Amino acid sequence: MPILEIRNLFIEVEGKPILKGINLTVAEGETIILFGPNGVGKSSLFMAIMGFPKYKIKKGQIIFKGTDITHLPASDRARMGIGMSFQRPPSIKGIKLNGLSEIINSDKDNGDRIDYYSKMLKLDQHLKRDINLGFSGGEVKRSEIFQLLLQNPLLSLIDEPESGVDVENISILGKAIKRLLHKEDRLTKRRNSGIIITHTGLILNYLNADMGYMLIDGCLTCSGNAREIFELIQKQGYRECQNCLKKK
Amino acid sequence: MSELLKKEIKKRDRAKMLNVGFDVEEKQRSASYTLLNDQEIGPRTSSRAIELLSIGRALEKYPEFMKKFLWKLVKGNKDEYTQSVVNARPVGYFIRVKPGHKAILPLQSCFYIKAERFKQEVHNLIVMEEGSSLNVINGCASADYVNAGVHIGVTEIYIKKNAYLSYTMIHDWSEEVEVRPRTGIFVDDHATFVSNYISIKGSKITQSYPTCHLKGKDSSGVFNSLIYAPENSVYDIGARVILDGRDSRAEVVSRSISGGGQVIARGELIGNKKSIRAHLECSGMLLNNKGSITAIPILEAHHPEVDMSHEASVGKIAEEEIYYLMSRGISEEEAISLIVRGFLDTKILGLPPAIEKEVEKTINMLDHSF
Ligand SMILES: Nc1ncnc2c1ncn2[C@@H]1O[C@H](COP(=O)(O)OP(=O)(O)OP(=O)(O)O)[C@@H](O)[C@H]1O
Ligand SMILES: [Mg+2]
């Protein structure tokens, strides 16, 4: 059984149609990469999978582990095993990163995880600060992956983890995401899956993806080897992809 | 003395009092004053440097002294409420801290209404002698079995040179109680007054607008308030600070949330002297469209070398923040309650540890409000 199955999904944001008939299947343990030009709706797809009402599902279904979650609230989806690293998360005054970490970690029996993962992502000094408030761009990205590691979801939606991050920190993030997606485990034991959005492709230097997809004009086109698709975009840009789409 | 409190205060009232920071056991308290309707219990103090009397007793003991201080900072004919206190038999406390004495433990007081439709009329006087220091925690509440009542409290506070007073009020009234504090504060050279006002249960109306006279040079006045207005409640609250002393400083910070009630958050800073600094900050959060928040900041300068500013923001709770927390597996109600509690952050109050715990407990009670 696939971990995630999206069937003919149509999404509208503020009355504007964004996604027009998405079909996507993610298998257990699979890592896929999502490409596409700015503003095409990649983040919107994540928001819809996570369950944010602003991203209105006009048609279609989202199936997670065989259950139709199309109309479930985000918190239920999170508890079932979906997690998201935001491209631009909000900052929240008065709630400490530590406080949120403890809530996320409360259903795990191991309290040391907060300590361990915060050190791994160089965030131990940030735990006592308000969530994301005044965090630098790179710190925000590390904090998102840190929270995902605590959550340890079956399906991680990772939105541009390496945008605006320096070389050293990309390496930290790359290793953390590898851990998150069970990349060290053998294929047969690998349970966690992930969808990663990237423009730079740098994350591919740290982990192997099973598949790549291209989102253009509200539809998923061009599936294939992630690295090959990335190289194609580097060479030709998205314009060629659009032309290719027209020919089809 | 705890024995007397225990004898006089019924079990079912004690819990309510504890909610507003009044501990019948008197652990971690230097002195206690209790007013049940118009019946005064105590007052008692464990420190010779802190004089605590009922105002009636103080009037007998020090008639001349009292005449010098009473009805000077709050005028008796100010409005119908102060007038009713003028006409009533005097109840309330008189606190005087001896020069140079710095009290470690807070003094606690409780104003409690336990009879339906009772009209509680109070007159308090605090005199902080030179170089003294004290934390006061005032719990104001009505019993669960009371629905309506009136609380009118006139409080006059004198803070002499180099003295410090922090004055924390926690309110927990029933739905139909009217609350009308009338407060005046005088602050002398290098002296400080800090007011913390916490009220999260609402009442029919709470109307309070203390006036703080920063007369001394390098004096300072701080007014913090954390308000949660449930449906059918009205809060009209704020503070006026008149900066008359050179280098004096004032800060008025209010955080209010409407869960369906009406909030009017006022603040008025009047800068009269050279090098004064004053800041007004008012943030409001609306949880639904049943209530309203009105922020009315006023800055008035009478000297070219003043530094005065204000920030005001009112808006609904950020959906983005709610969904962010929900995506981490937190339910919508819990997410709202976390954001609300974060917004009413008790850390902004700078409370002494003994009081901070009580205030945090109060804010945590919000969990049961949604
Ligand atoms: N909350 C919102 N309110 C209004 N418009 C939105 C909102 N979220 C997304 N949109 C619009 O929907 C479109 C898709 O946005 P989305 O963020 O999904 O793009 P993206 O593919 O992630 O782009 P990028 O690569 O720049 O991150 C854009 O035109 C964007 O302006
Ligand atoms: Mg995006």
Task: Please indicate, yes or no, whether residues B368 and B305 belong to a single structural domain of this protein.
Answer: no
Task: Please indicate, yes or no, whether residues B236 and B359 belong to a single structural domain of this protein.
Answer: no
> What does R_g of chain A's alpha carbons equal in angstroms?
18
Distance CA B345, CA B121 (A): 32
Q: Give the model confidence (pLDDT) of A52-70 as tens digits.
A: 999 999 999 999 999 999 9
pLDDT for B1 beyond 60: no
Task: Please indicate, yes or no, whether residues B131 and B155 belong to a single structural domain of this protein.
Answer: yes
Q: Give the model confidence (pLDDT) of A173-195 as tens digits.
A: 999 999 999 887 777 788 899 99
- Among B324, B344, B346, pick the best mutation site for testing chain A contact (most A Cβ within 10 A): B324
Which single residue is written with the structure tokens 């010779």?
B48
- Asked if A176 and A196 count as a contact pair (C-beta separation under 8 A), the reply is no
In this prediction, residues B323-329 reach a mean pLDDT of 97
Cβ–Cβ contact B363 with A under 8 A: no
Distance CA B77, CA B368 (A): 41
The pTM of the full predicted model, rounded to 2 decimals, is: 0.86
Distance from CA of B210 to the nearest CA of A (A): 28
Work out the pLDDT band at B301, boundaries 50, 70, 90: very high
**Which residues of chain A fall below pLDDT 70?**
242-248
Distance from CA of B104 to the nearest CA of A (A): 29
Task: Please indicate, yes or no, whether residues B252 and B330 belong to a single structural domain of this protein.
Answer: no
Closest among B222, B232, B233 to B197, alpha carbons compared: B222
Task: Please indicate, yes or no, whether residues B216 and B247 belong to a single structural domain of this protein.
Answer: yes
Q: Phi and psi of A93, rounded to 5°?
A: -70, 135
Task: Please indicate, yes or no, whether residues B87 and B38 belong to a single structural domain of this protein.
Answer: yes
- Domain end call among B315, B337, B354: B315
Task: Please indicate, yes or no, whether residues B20 and B160 belong to a single structural domain of this protein.
Answer: yes
- Give the range of the structural domain holding residue B237, as residue numbers without chain letter: 2-315
pLDDT number for residue B356: 82
In this prediction, residues B137-159 reach a mean pLDDT of 96
**A44, A157, A215, best to mutate for ligand 1 pocket (most atoms within 8 Å of CB):** A44
Which residue of A50, A75, A95 is in closest CB contact with B331? A75
Give the ranges where chain A is alpha helix by DSSP (H). Answer: 42-50, 74-80, 97-105, 112-120, 137-151, 167-180, 226-247
Does residue A128's CB lie within 6 angstroms of at least one atom of ligand 1?
A: no
Beta strands in chain B (DSSP E): 31-36, 39-45, 50-54, 93-97, 107-113, 118-128, 133-142, 148-159, 164-172, 176-187, 192-199, 205-208, 211-214, 220-230, 234-243, 249-259, 262-271, 276-286, 292-301, 306-316
pLDDT for B277 beyond 90: yes
Which residue of B321, B323, B329 is in closest CB contact with A52? B323
Cβ–Cβ contact B320 with A under 8 A: yes
Does residue A15's CB lie within 6 angstroms of at least one atom of ligand 1?
A: no
Cβ–Cβ contact B330 with A under 8 A: yes
Task: Please indicate, yes or no, whether residues B47 and B151 belong to a single structural domain of this protein.
Answer: yes
Distance from CA of A47 to the nearest CA of B (A): 10
Kindly identify which residue of chain A lies nearest to residue B344, measuring between CA atoms: A94
CA of A36 to the centre of ligand 2 (A): 9
- Amino acid making up residue B319: E
Task: Please indicate, yes or no, whether residues B63 and B135 belong to a single structural domain of this protein.
Answer: yes
Task: Please indicate, yes or no, whether residues B340 and B259 belong to a single structural domain of this protein.
Answer: no
Domain total in chain B:
2
Please give the domain boundaries of chain A with CATH numbers for all domains: 4-247 (3.40.50.300)
Pairing of strands B176-187, B211-214: parallel
Task: Please indicate, yes or no, whether residues B265 and B333 belong to a single structural domain of this protein.
Answer: no
Per DSSP, A15 falls in state: T
Distance CA A161, CA A181 (A): 14
CA of A14 to the centre of ligand 1 (A): 10
Task: Please indicate, yes or no, whether residues B108 and B256 belong to a single structural domain of this protein.
Answer: yes
